[in-house]
Structure 1
Amino acid sequence: MDLDQLRLAVREWLVANTPSGWHEELKRATKEQFRDFNIRQAKLLRQAGLLAAHWPKEFGGGGFTFQQQMVIQDELVRADFPQPRLLEISLAHIAATLMAYGNAEQQRHLSAILDGEIWCQGFSEPEAGSDLASLRTRAVRDGDTYVVNGQKVWSSYADQASWCLLLARTDPAAPKHRGLSLFMLDLSSPGVELRPTRQATGTEEFCELFLTDVEVPAAYRVGEENAGWRMAQTTLSTERVFNILELQARLAVALDEIAAQARATPWRHGQTAADDESVRQDLAARAAEVEVLGLLGRRLAHSVEVTGEVGPEGSIVKLFYSETLQKLTGLALRIRGMAAMLDERREFATTWTSGQWMIDHLKSWNWTIAAGSNEIQRNIIGERVLGLPREPQS
């Protein structure tokens, strides 16, 4: 199927299957209803062969080319189709790790993910965020099990998940990058306690995980013992690529909405915001950044398709996206003014640019911290792309 045929087919399917009134539905939804909504949307996409467009066919995915994925993501965004956010980690990070390092039994979870199995990540800790390799959660081998004790934080939607991809220290005597192992953790296991964390937006998208003498079967260890850091890089690097095409497409849609808002918003002296020179300059700058982000994202995704690897260029895309999102939502706030402060009972997060600009702007700061803070990304770019000396170690 050529790209035009694919675009037409996806567009026709979206016309028939995009639910009407779903924004209002999610404003009234409980956490359980939000979970059910996500699984329902995932099933719809799977039936159409669109749920895991980036997966190889041998694992049940669409096996679409990079260009075809661009078409699919573009159409999903422009149709305002609600994609299953609770499955993002499962479909991207977990899937990539299990495909690369999981054994046949562990890879059975790939089919379960396509059926709606929700995963979270257990990586960051209170004293190990950007310096992830300094984590302290311990996994001690005891026969055919590991006994795990420790604490994780910033685990997105862990209270909605059934499984967790857990990074823990198995050799405390080894250098910090070499004594880590990766595990599949059943969140229903005795000793696992989840505590949702309320954010400034009023939502609870993150959780703390407290692990007390949790027994994890040795069969749930992914790959070799003490090789977890290398495997975790597969998980983390996927965050640089997966959905970048969708994220950029959503920024482009948001930019159009903000420009229309500027034309309709009363300003000073009987003018609209769009008549203000500084607003127009801001809009032009944001338009240029969104366009550049699209070019960077396409280049990165194409490179991954060819080489199968994400290099330090992924840090450039992550850094540029987070700052573009911040500036774009900040501009929307400036244009809308006090009206942006109204609480409109925003639904559960389905996008970073929902049009409720105060909430979106607050949430944009997540991107400057998650998956490695922007300061860390600048270090990576400086050292691995520009060849600058390494930052002095304290």
Structure 2
Amino acid sequence: MNSTVDSNNLREEVRAWLTQNVPQDWRQAMTGTDQDAFVKAQRDWFNKLVAAGYATPHWPEGWPGGGRSLADQKIIYEETARADAPRLILFFVALYHSACTLMEWGTQEQKEKYLPGILKGEIWCQGFSEPNAGSDLASVKTRAELKGDRYVINGQKTWSTMAQYADKCLLLTRTGKSEPPQGGLTYLLLDMKAKGVSVRPISQITGDDEFAEIFFDDVEVLVEDRVGKDGEGWAVAQSTLSSERGLTLVELTQRMRYSLAKVAEVMRERGRASDPAIRKELGALIAKVNASCALADQYLLKRISGTEAAGDASIVKLNYARTLREFTKLGMSISGLQGQYFEDFTRGGSQETGNWTVDFMNSYNWSIAGGSDEIQRNIIAERMLLMPREPKNWQLS
């Protein structure tokens, strides 16, 4: 049986499973609900995906559903987007950031200690960003002082997704002074139930509390829970951040493409389906969305063939963030005043829920999360176009 037939069979298999298992009316159930109900729904959906082998197709062979090729993983993500299944927001860090970091950098003991727990539903958060160290992770100041067989941690992290529910944390700390400053960072695995850890959810303008601040007051982490060597945290963190690229962007761009129907539906509801100006805007948006999908597909093909270059992921991410902004802006514009009314948001959805005001505000997240638009442009300019780096201490005259 050739690979094309195999791929077709896999697509049919995944599509049939999703038809039977995606929770019916999950969007309605998750609209206006509280976090506890959301967490329960996420756990139920996670357990189904793990049992079917669709939660970890990117894990190595030997794990449930693991060992699949990137091409097969792409099919699973495309079909998940097509079925409008809930996104595993609560388990995203565990399944990708934590697992992929441990598989690349972790010791055998760390893999045996932590990976099975992820499949059992342990929630992980990411402790990277700080009040004065967002996209510029080299400015991290949370301090980890080595005392005997453990590190003692003091400091603060912010914008940590779902940290209030997390069992474990991927923690980037400063253990020494270095020039460049990246050399003084160390990567640790932290128990969120450890003494001295406190979490404070951040209330957003949408009414959500997706993010949280984490405070560390003489928190202890054993040396055996360090990933990589002391001072090697920057390199480990880059692996963590790159783990979500590719397949995630394929899924998100495909979700946006399938959601174009929502824009057309609003046009009909508002009696603007024949408005030539709006039809022109929609046509331009369709072209941009299709281009985003093509860029994501091209990027994944480069990863499959081993021809990925530095900056390729930045192009896809930057393009997606800009297109998503235009997508939600058009939906809000077509909806008129009604589209600006406050409505309860949908937990576990993507950025194209049809609640246009919330979607538009949330679209700005993608201009920052995973590296701001400015950072992506710098990467493209410096690593792909080989333009000179900005001087460190420049100032306007």
TM-score, with structure 2 as normaliser: 0.93
- Select which of 74, 82, 91 maps to 2:86: 82
Matched, 1:221 2:220: no
Aligned to 1:321: 320
Aligned pairs for 1:167-182 (under 5 A) are 167-173=172-178, 175-182=180-187
Aligned to 2:331: 332
- Select which of 109, 127, 131 maps to 1:122: 127
- Select which of 5, 9, 14 maps to 2:13: 9
Q: Which amino acid aligns with 1:379?
A: N
Matched, 1:248 2:247: no
Encode CA deviations 1:324-351: one digit per residue, 9 max, x unaligned.
Answer: 0000000000111112123332232321
Distance 1:242 1:93 in 2: 13
Distance 2:194 2:142 in 1: 16
Q: Comparing 143-152 with 86-95, which one deviates more in the overlay?
A: 86-95
Distance 1:307 1:192 in 2: 42
Aligned to 1:368: 367
Contact 1:41 1:83 in 2 (8 A): no
Q: Which amino acid aligns with 1:355?
A: G
Encode CA deviations 1:180-229: one digit per residue, 9 max, x unaligned.
Answer: 11000100011111111111211111111111110011111011111010
1:229 counterpart SS class: helix
Query: 1:79 Cα shift?
Result: 1.9
Distance 1:136 1:178 in 2: 13
Distance 1:249 1:229 in 2: 32
- Select which of 52, 55, 62 maps to 2:59: 55
Aligned to 1:103: 107
Aligned pairs for 1:1-394 (under 5 A) are 2-27=6-31, 29-108=33-112, 109-173=114-178, 175-266=180-271, 273-307=272-306, 311-394=310-393
Q: Which amino acid aligns with 2:329?
A: G
Contact 2:71 2:304 in 1 (8 A): no
TM-score, with structure 1 as normaliser: 0.94
Encode CA deviations 1:2-25: one digit per residue, 9 max, x unaligned.
Answer: 122112211221222122122232
Contact 1:185 1:220 in 2 (8 A): yes
Aligned to 1:270: none
Distance 1:383 1:308 in 2: 19
Distance 1:115 1:291 in 2: 37
Distance 1:70 1:175 in 2: 38
Superposition CA RMSD, Å = 1.7
Query: 1:306 Cα shift?
Result: 3.6
Distance 1:127 1:81 in 2: 36
Query: 1:28 Cα shift?
Result: 5.3
* Matched residues, number: 388
Q: Which amino acid aligns with 2:34?
A: T
Encode CA deviations 1:136-169: one digit per residue, 9 max, x unaligned.
Answer: 1110101111000111111111111111100001
Q: Which amino acid aligns with 2:19?
A: V
Q: Which runs of 5+ in 1 are unaligned?
A: 267-272
Contact 1:126 1:153 in 2 (8 A): yes
Q: Which amino acid aligns with 2:18?
A: L
Query: 1:305 Cα shift?
Result: 3.1
Distance 2:323 2:262 in 1: 16
Encode CA deviations 1:12-65: one digit per residue, 9 max, x unaligned.
Answer: 212221221222322354322221211111110111111112222144443222
Contact 1:73 1:246 in 2 (8 A): yes
Q: In the superposition, relative to structure 1, how do residues 264 and 24 fare at CA in structure 2: closer, same or farther (>3 Å)?
A: closer
Contact 2:157 2:215 in 1 (8 A): yes
